[in-house]
Amino acid sequence: MKEGSKKSISALCYFSLFFAPFLFPIAVYLIADEPEVMEHAKRSFLSHLLPIIAVPLGIIIIFETQYHLIAIIISGLIFGSLTLIVMIWNIVKGIKVIVS
Indicate whether 62 belongs to any domain.
yes
Measured between alpha carbons, how far is 11 from 13 in angstroms, rounded to an integer?
Answer: 5
Give a yes or no: residue 76 inside a domain.
Answer: yes
State which residues form the domain around 38. 3-95
pLDDT at 36: 92
Question: Which pLDDT tens digit goes with each residue over 54-69?
Answer: 888 878 888 888 878 8
Question: How many separate domains does the chain show?
Answer: 1
At 99 the pLDDT is: 92
Mean pLDDT over residues 40-46, rounded? Answer: 92
Tell me, yes or no, whether 17 lies in a domain. yes
Q: What is the C-alpha to C-alpha distance for residues 100 and 40, in angstroms, rounded to an integer?
A: 13
Answer yes or no: is 10 within a domain: yes
Whether the model clears a pTM of 0.85, i.e. scores above it, the answer is no
Residue 100 is assigned to a structural domain of this protein:
no
Give the per-residue pLDDT at 90.
93
